[in-house]
Structure 1
Amino acid sequence: MADSSVSFLLDKLSCLLQEEVNLQRGVREDVQHIKYELERHRGILRVAEAMEDKDPELKAWVKGVRNVAHDMEDAIDEFNLRLVDQHWQAYNSSFHNKVIFGIKTLKARHRIASDIQSIKSKVDIISQGRPDLPGIGSSQRWSSRLDSQGDALLLEEADLVGIDKPKKQLIDLLFNEEAGRAVIPIYGMGGVGKTTLAKQVYDDPKVKKRFRIHAWVNVTQSSKLDELLKDLVQQLHNVIGKPAPEEVGQMKSDKLKELIKNLLQQSRYLIVLDDVWQVKDWDSVKLALPNSNRGSRVMLTTRKKDIALYSCAELGKDFNLEFLPEEEAWNLFCKKIFQGNSCPPHLEEVCRKILKMCGGLPLAIVAIGGVLATRGRANIEEWQMVCRSFGSEIEGNDKLESMKKVLSLSFNELPYHLKSCLLYLSIFPEFHAIEHMRLIRLWIAEGFVNGEDGKTLEEVADSYLKELLDRSLLQVVEKTSDGRMKTCRMHDLLREIVNLKAKDQNFATIAKDQDIIWPDKVRRLSIINTLNNMQQDRAEFHLRSLLMFSLSDSLEHFSIRALCSNGCKLLRVLDLQDGPLEVFPYEIISLSLLKYLSLKNTKVKSIPASIKKLQQLETLDLKQTYVSVLPVEIVELQRLRHLLVYRYEIECYAKFHSRHGFKMAAPIGRMQSLQKLCFIEADQALMIELGKLTQLRRLGIRKMRQQDGAALCSSIEKMINLRSLSITAIEDNEIIGIHNISRPPQYLQQLYLSGRLDNFPHWISCLKNLVRVFLKWSRLEEDPLVHLQDLPNLRHLEFLQVYVGETLHFKANGFASLKVLGLDDLDGLKCMTVEEGAMPGLKKLIIQRCNSLKQVPLGLEHLTKLKSIEFFAMPKELTNALLPSGGEDYWRVQHVAAVYCSYWRDGGWDVYSLETLGDRESDSSGGSAMRNLEISPLWKV
């Protein structure tokens, strides 16, 4: 990670040199010198870090480079802090005060000059002690990769419980009747068994018989393409039974490709490319593999989803190798530890906890099982110690080195900015589902995200997140209804590896208990469970980030300075989400460099006017607090990008006033950097001001009046970047006058309208990028489906009191992309018809409180992709017609895996499956009901 620290610092040094800062004489030259030396060192840091564990002297040198980078970052931040403080004193002051600003900053410039002189001396010492690494370059990196491929092949078929099914699926893909050359990529996380599965398929006698010409190639890198092709030529000649031409050793890649193509042209062949890391690796090799319509196949293993999809784009099918299910994982675990015998009862609980940390990863289960197999079975304490100190066990056990190497390889191959992003996940508690947008905003505040032309920092950060997902380093925990990622997490075992690296690199300190070993300097601090885990005298604080999770302490008298002495003045990130906090901590105002402040899910009620001093603030997250008014001074925060202030009551989602926003009587148009503004209460002046916020991506408006409509329409036309728009009227019978938008934002993806519509806004039909449309209390007399059915990307549609008509007709070919449909309280609805071909991809249907809908919707049988139907508080005539025994319309839904009916009783929803619905009347206790079944309510946005 030293290369990450150095690369991050080099970016800051470049900014310092570019800024018009009046540095003292000679300082600029010293900064240039430091920058030059660190650039020289960066070239060998990645290789050095890969070797440092085996060389204590090398490890000390890498640590020295990292410490110098941190010292230089401290000096720059201290300098910036002094400039910010002096600038604030001169802000809006007289011309005289601004003139003497330079005099007041003299001390700051003198201090940084002194710091840089000291750092320059350290850099020179490090440069003199720079190690000479023979053979530096790619060979050692890639030999490490090949070693890991060999480690993966150590898994025997007997070790892979559950391999039979994926093996058969792969063989079926190899044997299908497709005549063209098909590519079958196997992708998934390192250690999941990709190489082993491919090898088992490759060695299967039936496969060898069908593909007489075959070869297995370990992919290295594109610069070694000639060697890869020579290896393939040699293997093919061995299979054919002829010696390879002597001149092969001298051939260049073009000639080698031509030779391979000629060898394969008239044959049905199988080529396996194992461990492909870059698209160009595949692009280079595929040109040598002819498509001669003889049913040839290429298998390819990779950890990266984008490579898998790219390689099989022309003809083929990707194969995502997933983790072992719980039962199969347990069988494999017991097989390795107890030689196929059952687990002793007194060890089962601790064994299942250890197994959970393996997360269904075969390589991990086999490796951990091999270690535990040597432990005595009488002493349960020894097993519990492994469970408690899982990370230490991985670090200190030679028997787990191969597993650690395989899992570490994905991390070691990351570019420096992605390494920092992945290491940052170590600050979150284990088993914690991390919110997608929270993570992105934190990364930006930390400075991990590099600007790219034509993209916002948020869009760049989102691409980082997608790349980590594609590399199988993150897993999606929860998605939104329209397919976007909502939360994510790391695999438990990979998390342990990353935590070890974060600890070793002093990237972050996790105060989870009182027995942790504190580093000399703490730069990022995550406090988990209680503030009592803080040990004041253990470390020196140079905090950039402070986050707290699951605190049980009262924060009534919370003090950051008391928590970490005077080491918080350079704080960039302060995340107190979910903390037991009732009053805004006023000392926050002194944190001049703060970029991210979250008080989400606290009981804070007000924000002081002095918040205007936080001139660097980019994110202010007050969601689910009791803040209802923001001070006028908030508009002084010119860099604020995300202003999130709202609270909603999900238990009464169908009530009009279930969401609360905030008031602000200020010229909000001055906040030119705003991208997200939710949820602000409307007034005439505000509607006009909104037109100045051309960077807005998400806008939420509460308490809108009909007379505000014209001004809002004019402003919306200027918001060309808008992706999400939510408008709620002041009362449910107030008309939302937003019909006159001649140039709607074409990138709009989400639209939420709550309030009366005198007619359907026709501009909505032009929004081809819409994926979610939620309408509430519209009370339309015209059928809204006519205007929505042709939207090509609409995935989620929900209505609540939207339509007063008696029939809804979903026409053939309409709603081509719809996945979720919710209909609530359409009181006049008596008939619903779905034509064949309508909503072909619908997966979830929710109908509730439509009291006049007494007959089962016609055409449900056409919705062949439906996974679940939920009927809430619907007439008995409808639900009785769906009973498996005697229900006349059961045949319409018998293809749906889950059909539920629910009724409100005794203060809660009783939920029944169709199978138990018939027992409801006879079971007065509600015993057959699934009261705790989790069903997503409508309108949870």
Structure 2
Amino acid sequence: MKDNLQATPSSFCEDIDKVITKIDSITQELMMIKEDWSSDIQKQNAVPLQPASSSTALPSTGKDSTMVGFDERLLHIIDELTKDESNLRILPIVGMGGIGKTTLAQNAFNHPYIANHFDERIWCTISQKYNVQEILQGLLNDGKVQENNETLAKLGERLHKKLFGRRYLIVMDDMWNIKAWDELSLFFPNNGNRSRVMMTTRMSEVVVSLGCHDPYLMSLLNEEESWNLFCEKAFGQKECSYPELEEIGKEITKACRGLPLGIVAIAGLLANSNMQQQYWESIAENVNSFANSQDNDHCLNILSLSYNYLPLHLKACFLYMSVLLEDYQIKVSELVQIWIGEGFIKSVRGKILEDIANGYLEDLVARNLILIGERTVCGEIRSCSIHDLLRDLCLREFDKKHFVRNLKVRWDIRWKYLYRKVCFMCCESENRLVNIDLPKVFVGMLSASVVSISICDAYRFEYPNFAKLRLAKLMDDCGGAEMLEPTKLRCLFLKDYSYSGFQSSSLHLLWNLKSLFVELSNNRDSPSVLPTEIWEMPQLRCLKFRNALLPDPTATQGSTILENLHTLSGILNFRCTKEVVERIPNLKKLEVEYYSIKSEKCSGYCLENLAYLHKLASLTLSITTFTWKRLPSYEMLDLGAGDHMYIAFPDSLKELHLGGGRIPWENVTVIGSLPNLEVLKLWFNTFDGPEWNPEEGQFSRLKALYICGSDLVWWRAESTHFPNLETLFLIGMAHLKEVPSEIGDIATLRSIYLERCSESATLSAKQIEAEQHSNGNELEVHAHWRNPQRWGLTLYPVLFLVRLTRALDHEGISFPKQKFLY
């Protein structure tokens, strides 16, 4: 007993992890037993479905399968199926549930041109649970008597003989994993006569396992395509039959966000209505709930398949996406910290939780359950969202699992169960909870195991259950943060929050805090000083501020090492002393600005110690005071002003953002020699001088280069200077004579973006594009020319970037937001 009582906290945590893993395993096994039992019951009560059909019994393409809005996609599929490529080829169609994969495949399968092109066409539906023997028997539906005891080998041999020497098309609909292909493809002969296998799947990993490099990725319908599909299903024609309903009809269609399944479900509901405007308006108020209603369970069942197929560790992460407001794009950096704060991420030895969480996200994206909003130049997901119909599905699953109570949607339902979580959704514009009887809510909270607040004025009510709080998001300077019982807090968001209301004296009580996001209502001229207690919080993983000063740890605070801290951003005049660097040894992302520094104190910032942050992958550094000087050494830069200020970069850097300083171009070799650098962003006045002559052997791994607001005139670069460059951004280059023609010869270069550059530079880029196209390369040049001097580039960089971003967004160009605090 004593040994047990004396167990260390780390061994206790390991024991808890083992117990959790065992519970998860048992739960997963019980779920499988339940699914098998339900499947057996359904088989006993239902007429058996034929798992495959041949050309003698083709899949139906009745009115419900009309390809409205899919014309171009259908032509593309037909073209791919009939290409002059002799070997057996696989064509996967990939997309989320309800996006129209099966409908597209059916219409291609039954198209007269395809019917004449192939000697044999066979359709088989695989689904999550399949029987290889039944599928083979369906594929062999040739009128011969089937023997139930016929082996798989015998059935496969017969299928091979049936297909041998014939040009065939096999459609494998609703593939969920590669196993079905591995078991069936053995019997598909490669006749060398342009035979094809077409697949539909929600799982991107199926495509990866197949080794297909050119799958057809189904995208959501645009507004015009959505409206055409809606009219066809609601009115039976391509135009609206009721002019008074057209406006509200387009609102309903827009709310479906381009998902054909939702459009068809709503249109089918309205087609049977009395076509009264008042009824249509009631539908428009809550489109997703009507589409997923119990009366229209077909839509819900299709979407539920993807959720039911999720492994247990992904279900909680996916369900939590419904906490987001409709159409909301969340930053991945915030989402990851929320998942970690809620305890959804399982630890794996040798990996940090953030990397594991990002893997979870990539898995959900690969399953077409989460929509990508924006990616970084290096391909990482920057922001994401969830389709509204899937969000509504999550809310229903929440209620069934008693996992969470979303009060904005379900405030009027009594608290019948002990909910695992309670989530408040507030109206941001009014900063209040909507239509909620708060006293009753808090009585109900007393029985909840975890309270998750995402919110506002609810903080003004003090209840003992706040001690169970894990996640808090405080919006629009709500006040009352001091009301929180802090000991269980994991993740805290304070937006537009008055710092005077945040009690630093109690900050040390947040000993479980993992992430802190604070956007203070101030500016650089009056920065807030953060409490030194931050240096005593070893659980911290992510610290994000705006215009804040972080003092050095005091001598009385011991030597706590923040081993988990990997992100630190929004800090002004950060001192990288040896003692500070030693306390943050695992930092991966650092964003700092040096502003209004007195020259006699510049050496005290010790930026040369950045080289000792051996895990630092991303650095954003803005210096708005001094001019950089050239050093004979290529190991560090000298920022001179009275006293000297040096800076050195660690070899681990993959992404570097620099702003200000006017560094001589010849000194760029200090950066070019970084062995792992992939992204380099040089913002206003980073480098100075009319000419840049890059050197051989530099920028060996650079994938993306941004140059903004430079006085560069001659850039004498060759393809060997940037051997792996993929994307080039040139912004506000008013004096640049031309883009070096040799840049176009870089084999990896995919795109060049020019915005507000000189006319001669723009024309030279277009010439590079034309030359590359004539050589069969697919280089794209996006050029938007306007005189930068008329935009006040030198005097008003903030206005310029705002206009620039809006212009690129208007043109449909995804332009990564810059991170500097100008």
Report the TM range for the smaller structure's normalisation. 0.7 to 0.9
The question of 1:451 aligning with 2:347 is answered: yes
Change (3 A) 1:901 1:753: closer
Report the counterpart of residue 727 of structure 2 in structure 1. Answer: 819
Q: Does 1:422 align with 2:318?
A: yes
TM-aligned CA deviation for residue 831 of structure 1: 5.0
Match in the other structure for 2:517: 621
Amino acid at match of 1:273: M
The superposition leaves residues 410-455 of structure 1 with CA deviations (integer Å, 9 ceiling, x where unpaired) of 1111112211111101111112112211111101111111122332
Contact 2:518–2:545 at 8 Å: present in 1 too? yes
Could you tell me how far 1:785 is from its partner in structure 2?
4.1
Query: Hey, what's the Cα distance between the residues in 2 that align with 1:357 and 1:141?
Result: 36
Is 1:321 the counterpart of 2:218? The answer is yes
Q: Which SS does the other structure have where 1:298 is aligned?
A: strand
1:536 alignment partner, one of 438, 452, 462 = 438
CA 912–517 in structure 1, closer or farther in 2 if over 3 Å, else same: closer
Q: What code does the residue aligned with 1:567 have? A: N
Provide the secondary structure at the position in 2 that maps to 1:448.
Answer: coil
Match of 2:247 among 335, 349, 352: 349
**CA contact 2:371–2:385 (8 Å) conserved in 1:** yes
- Is 1:364 paired with 2:255? no
Q: Distance in 2 between matches of 1:411 and 1:141?
A: 24
| CA-to-aligned-CA distance 1:476-507 (integer Å, 9 cap, x gap) | 22334554322221112222222222233333
Matched AA of 1:670: I
Letter in 2 for 1:271: I
- Which residue, out of 77, 80, 96, partners 1:173? 80
Q: SS state of the match for residue 597, structure 1?
A: strand
2:595 is the alignment partner of 1:693: no
The whole-number CA distance in structure 1 between the counterparts of 2:324 and 2:130 is 39
CA distance in 2: counterparts of 1:169 and 1:622, whole angstroms: 49
Partner of 2:640: none
Q: Residue 641 of structure 1 contacts residue 673 of structure 1 at CA under 8 Å; is this kept in 2? A: yes
> Where do residues 384-783 of structure 1 align in structure 2 (5 Å cutoff)?
384-394=281-291, 396-398=293-295, 400-512=296-408, 516-520=412-416, 521=418, 523-529=421-427, 530-531=432-433, 533-539=435-441, 540-541=444-445, 542=448, 544-548=450-454, 559-562=459-462, 565-576=463-474, 578-581=475-478, 585-588=481-484, 590-604=485-499, 608-623=504-519, 625-626=521-522, 628-647=528-547, 662-666=550-554, 670-682=561-573, 686-703=577-594, 712-719=607-614, 721-729=615-623, 731-734=625-628, 739-740=634-635, 745=650, 747-754=652-659, 755-757=661-663, 759-762=667-670, 764-774=672-682, 776-780=684-688, 783=692
Deviation at 1:644, TM superposition (A): 1.3
Which residue pairs with 2:109 in the alignment?
Answer: 202
Specify the alignment match of 2:769 in structure 1: 863
In the other structure, the counterpart of 2:96 is 189
Aligned with 2:543: secondary structure?
strand
> Match of 1:272?
171
Amino acid in structure 2 at the alignment position of 1:731: T
Residue 873 of structure 1 corresponds to 787
- What CA distance in whole angstroms lies between the structure 1 residues aligned with 2:203 and 2:394? 19
Separation (CA, whole Å) in 2 of partners of 1:597 and 1:146: 52
Q: Residue 182 of structure 1: CA displacement?
A: 1.1
Percent of residue pairs bearing the same amino acid type: 25
Question: Among 171, 180, 183, which residue is 1:284 paired with?
Answer: 183
Displacement, 1:856?
A: 5.4
| SS, match of residue 469 in structure 2 | coil
- Offset from partner CA, 1:279-317 (integer Å, 9 cap, x none): 33333333333334322211010011221243253xx63
The aligned amino acid for 1:777 is N
* Partners of 1:386 and 1:690 in 2: CA distance: 58
1:54 is matched with none
Q: Does the CA-based 8 Å contact 1:772-1:797 persist in structure 2?
A: yes
Correspondence for 1:307: 206
Please tell me the residue identity of whatever aligns with 1:817: L
Paired residues of 1:911 and 1:930 also in contact (CA < 8 A)? no
Classify 1:415/1:823 alpha carbon distance in 2 versus 1 (closer, same or farther; 3 Å).
same
User: Are the counterparts in 1 of residues 68 and 232 from structure 2 also a CA contact under 8 Å?
Assistant: no
Contact 2:203 2:368 in 1 (8 A): yes
The change in CA–CA distance for 1:937 and 1:394 in structure 2 (over 3 A counts) is: closer
Letter of the aligned partner of 1:278 in structure 2?
N
1:843 equivalent in structure 2: 751
Separation (CA, whole Å) in 1 of partners of 2:21 and 2:670: 58
Name the SS for the 1:499 alignment partner: helix
Contact 2:568 2:590 in 1 (8 A): yes
Question: 1: CA distance between counterparts of 2:47 and 2:347?
Answer: 31
2 CA distance for matches of 1:323 and 1:154? 21
**3-state SS of paired residue (1:690):** helix
Q: 1:345 to 1:42 in 2, by over 3 A?
A: same
C-alpha distance in 1 between matches for 2:678 and 2:733? 24
Contact kept, 8 Å, 2:121 with 2:169, in 1: the verdict is yes
Q: RMSD of aligned C-alpha atoms? A: 4.6
Cα distance in structure 2, aligned partners of 1:164 and 1:35: 49
Aligned to 2:774: none
Which secondary structure does the structure 2 equivalent of 1:300 belong to?
strand
CA 1:397–1:159 in structure 2 vs 1: closer, same or farther (change >3 Å)?
Answer: farther
Q: Say if 2:654 and 2:677, in contact at 8 Å, map to a contact too.
A: yes
Q: Distance in 2 between matches of 1:157 and 1:213?
A: 25
3-state SS, counterpart of residue 760 of structure 1: helix
CA contact (8 A) 2:51 2:134 kept: no
Aligned to 1:488, what secondary structure does the other structure show? strand
Q: Could you tell me how far apart the structure 1 residues matched to 2:244 and 2:25 are?
A: 57
Q: SS of the counterpart of 1:572?
A: strand
Q: Note the 1:237-248 alignment, pairs <5 A.
A: 238=142, 243=144, 246=147
- Match of 1:75? none
Q: CA deviation at 1:38?
A: 9.2
Aligned partners of 1:599 and 1:625 also within 8 Å: no
Structure 2 counterpart of 1:536, one-letter code? L
SS at match of 1:740: coil
Equivalent pair of 1:618/1:639 in contact (CA under 8 Å) = yes
Task: State the shift of 1:615 in Å.
Answer: 0.8
Structure 2 residue matching 1:622: 3-state secondary structure = strand
For residues 930 and 790 of structure 1, do their structure 2 counterparts lie closer, same or farther at Cα, with a shift above 3 Å needed? closer
Q: SS of the residue aligned with 1:569? A: helix
Q: What do residues 587-638 of structure 1 show as CA deviations (whole Å, max 9, x unaligned)?
A: 33x3201110111343435650421111111101114554632222211100
Residue type of the partner of 2:611? I
1:750-792 CA deviation, whole Å, 9 max, x = no partner? 1012335462243633434513433553435572644697534
| Count of residues in correspondence between the two structures | 757
Superposed, 1:151-170 pairs within 5 Å as 156=63, 159-170=66-77
Give the match's secondary structure for 2:529.
Answer: coil
Mapped to 2, the partners of 1:46 and 1:306 lie a distance apart of: 22
The C-alpha deviation readout for 1:564-608, integer Å capped at 9, x for no partner, is x332111111111x4234x672233x3201110111343435650
- Give the distance between the partners of 1:300 and 1:901, measured in 2 at CA: 54
Q: Tell me what 1:224 maps to.
A: 131
Rounded Cα–Cα distance in structure 2 between residues aligned with 1:909 and 1:38? 53
